[in-house]
Structure 1
Amino acid sequence: MADERVLGLLGFGAAGWGDDLLFAAALTLQLAVLSSCFALVIGFVLASAKLSRWRLLRYLAATYTLFIRGVPEFLIILLVFFGSEALIQNMLTALGSDLTIEVPKFGAAVAALSLIFAAYACEVFRGAYVAVPPGQMEAAQAIGMRPFQAFIRIRFPQLWRFAIPGLGNLWMVVLKDTSLAAVIALNELLRTAKLAGETEHAHLMFFLAAGLIYLTMTSLSDILRRHLEQRARRGMAGG
């Protein structure tokens, strides 16, 4: 009887939560992918600022990363969600509009996670940048390459190679930390498992099911990371 109840609750259709869990897993994956993409772009810009000759840019980038890494991630998500809503509402009021705007939870979660993990991606890119021997860039410019051309042909491929392990680990963290979006009531995987457990009085079963889904996604991600590392090392000694 217990086995039948478990199969029924984890099944698909009106009586089961299987489709809800899979939909939540897809939402979690989508949230992680979008957040990671934006975080990589912002992180690369921040790394460029940290490596800039301009002291102001270095100061601003360092201040940003210090703030993000020193404040709880839950708080940042709440600040982005409620702060952006308040900012938009105040702007509309200042323009004489009585329109009420509600910030989408998914969009707020993507923005918050992007801002959070951009600070960590920044350090990965900065470390990968300085890991490339400067003599190679000097040699490239000595044979007539322009700085941008040397960056694209010499530094960037090696930068990417050095950054893959760190970015792979960062992806794992982003994927699991999508559960933080539950604080703004976004029905990602963990929140859906929690709601299912409360509804059916079977918390452990649904949390274990959610854990298995997370484990599947992270395991597949790790396989993809190793594949990317192998491709990046092609042509290298021992690669």
Structure 2
Amino acid sequence: MDVIYEYRQILIEGTFVTISLAVLSLLLSIVLGLIGAFAQLSPRRGLRRAGNIYTVFVRSVPDLVLMMLIFFGGQTFVTQIGSLTGLWGYVEINQFVAGVLTLGFIFGAYMAETFRGAIMAIPRGQIEAAMAVGMTPSQIFRIVTWPQMVRFALPSFTNNWLVLVKSTALVSVIGLHDLVWNAFSAGRSTHQLFTFMVTVMVIYLIITAISDVLLRMVDRKYAAGVRKA
């Protein structure tokens, strides 16, 4: 354990990067998930098709391939657009931004399916009753749809979040100094790679345990007054 204590600073820094990456990716995935869910439930055929293409595409392409495409191809694509339009020059997408965009884009598709299923689970009669009393669409979403959607979506949402946390390890492949990259570098330099990988495992378990406790608290809040079967 002495070697772990010696390298504690880079492990702490890597943990902070990993948590920041996971949280920002989650926020982006929630936004994309809501957009995708409402697109799939839209009465417009074009929006439904776009939402379905998004989810099918993400589920068909490996996460690592998407990360490579965004990191290496994304900056080339943006730079070429800037050259053609004359609006900007060379644009570089760093590893952290590429990781957030990739994980947010990937898990946005899974969140879209989660939110779509949760919205469909809300009895249609409640929406119709809200419309009948004169509620605006924003009021219906805030008072009727959102609280129940959260309750129905939380089990799948929790699973998506935990998988997202584990998927942050992929970003080490493109050189981001996250927990896995820092631990691997330290383990290789000290010839104690197994020790550092066990430490990484323990840190991920701690993050998962804390996440589980917090999400259970959220579940109890939104399930208040609901009789369990």
The TM-score bracket by the shorter chain reads: over 0.9
Pair 1:64-2:58 in alignment: no
| Aligned position for 1:151 | 141
**TM-score of the pair, normalised by structure 1:** 0.90
Change in Cα spacing, 1:236 to 1:95, as seen in structure 2 (3 Å) is closer
State how 1:133-172 maps to structure 2 within 5 Å: 133-172=123-162
> Within 1, Cα distance between the matches of 2:86 and 2:100?
30
Pairing of 1:1-239 with structure 2 (within 5 A)? 6-7=1-2, 9-11=3-5, 16-94=6-84, 100-238=90-228
Q: 1 CA distance for matches of 2:71 and 2:55?
A: 20
Aligned length: 229
Q: Which runs of 5+ in 2 are unaligned?
A: none
Question: Could you list the per-position Cα deviations for residues 83-116 of structure 1 after superposition, in whole angstroms to 9, with x for gaps in the alignment?
Answer: 1111132234435699544211101110111100
After TM superposition, give the deviation of residue 190 of structure 1 in Å.
1.2
Q: CA RMSD in A?
A: 1.8
Moved more, 37-46 or 147-156: 147-156
Q: Which position in structure 2 is the counterpart of 1:3? A: none
Aligned-partner Cα distance in 1 for 2:14–2:67: 19
**TM-score, scaled to structure 2:** 0.94
Mapped to 2, the partners of 1:230 and 1:115 lie a distance apart of 29
Describe the superposition over 1:174-231 as per-residue Cα deviations: whole angstroms up to 9, x where unpaired: 1110001012111111121111111110011000001010000000000011111001
CA offset at residue 142 of structure 1? 2.6
Determine the C-alpha separation between the residues in 2 that align with 1:232 and 1:136.
17
Q: Identify unmatched segments of 5+ residues in structure 1.
A: 1-5
For 1:69, the aligned partner's letter is R
Q: Tell which has more relative contact order, 1 or 2 (C-alpha 8 A, sep 6+).
A: 2
CA distance, structure 2, for counterparts of residue 121 and residue 222 of structure 1: 18
